[in-house]
Structure 1
Amino acid sequence: MDLENSIARACQSRDVHGVKHSHQNLIPPRVLATAGERLRASAAELRSREDFEAMHDLLKARIGSIRGVGPLQVYDFATRIGLRLGLRPQRIHLHAGTTQGARALGLDVRGRSWLRPGELPTPLGDLTAGEIEDILCIYKRELADLPR
């Protein structure tokens, strides 16, 4: 599959069974289509990015201003497109869920859009940025219930 098709698939936000990903469930199809059009037009620029963070920043610049597209959608699209390009996040990108999880661990994330894995307590800091992002987001409520 070429990059343009990968971008289109990423922005359609459907899994291999055609089911819309829960993170994008409430986003209207026209918003996803607009994001896909802008990103397909930027395919050459995306291909030229050497790391995930540069590619993520380009996505944010291209689609972040679309009404209905927020930091979580930018991150999700970047991870899907990044898989095609062989790029993985090196930072933990702070969207709503990861921010809640980081705060539950007592981290001060005010004014921050990302964390480095080493800023988190062991053993979390030993995981990849993508693994940490998943844990902070998925287990934000459980992390808040942990004793300090």
Structure 2
Amino acid sequence: MTERWRKRTRKSFGRIIVDFERWWPEAGGAELDAFRRLETLREVVEYAGFGRIPPGSKHSHMRRRNDERTLRPCQETLLAHLDDLQEAATFKDLHNTVARLIGYIWDAGSLTIYDMARWIGAWLGLEPKEIYLHQGTEEGAKAMGIQLGPKQSALHRTELPSEFWGLSCGQLEDLLCHYKDALRRAVDGEKVKFIKTGSEIPSTALHVLSTPSPRC
């Protein structure tokens, strides 16, 4: 790895972060805000457990999940255990509770468990302190050359290049999943394609930090 390769890759990483921070507020951020605006935990679970974003659209991750075989049982099970969800003191506690409650349901895998815990956690004020792994985030991590163990379920923020340390763990989960192709291209030295701003981001917009402050 030459110094020229490192500088080029860091520059591409910086542009990916700029694009992500322009895209995320109206995507992942807006989803979480929709749950935070609900009045009660029961309302939150009625939407989250059924894979819907208020006021009712089915989330893209849930489109292939069958409503009656997977999502309805998830919703009913979580609604029957509101007290257990309410008692979670950390996001990890909440994630473990959701996994215990719905992990046996057909097609309710790691992504479904994480998404439902994330939406419920937004209302409870619980944020992830690790980057949880599922198929999309695993692909994003591997695209950056990160070696994952066979049973590894999460990454610490500092396992990523330092350019990304200024983002929260919840944001990094979204970035690894949605920008996995851009990350692979950046590492391979190819032209990066962006979600929000097209193919070009001016250098003056870059804000790569060498020692960013912890966010998770």
For Structure 1 versus Structure 2, the TM-score category normalised by the shorter chain is: over 0.9
> Are 1:132 and 2:169 counterparts?
no
Identity %: 35
C-alpha RMSD over aligned residues? 1.2
Unaligned runs of 5+ in 2: 1-38, 189-216
> Are 1:82 and 2:101 counterparts?
no
Who is 2:185 aligned against?
Answer: 145
The TM-score, its normalising length taken from structure 1, stands at: 0.94
Q: Once the two structures are superposed, what CA deviation does each residue of 1:58-112 show, in whole Å capped at 9, x if it has no partner? A: 1011101111111001010001100111111111000010000001111111221
CA distance in 2, matches of 1:69, 1:7: 15
CA distance in 2, matches of 1:78, 1:129: 14
Q: Is the 8 A contact 1:93 1:114 kept in 2?
A: yes
Alignment partner of 1:145: what SS? helix
Q: Is the 8 A contact 1:117 1:126 kept in 2?
A: no
Who is 2:56 aligned against?
Answer: 18
Task: After the TM superposition, list the runs of 4 or more consecutive aligned residues in structure 1 that deviate by more than 4 angstroms.
Answer: none
Q: Match for 1:135: what amino acid?
A: L
Shift of 1:17: 4.8
Larger RCO: 1 or 2 (CA < 8 Å, sep 6+): 2
> Are 1:122 and 2:170 counterparts?
no
Q: Is the 8 A contact 1:118 1:126 kept in 2?
A: no
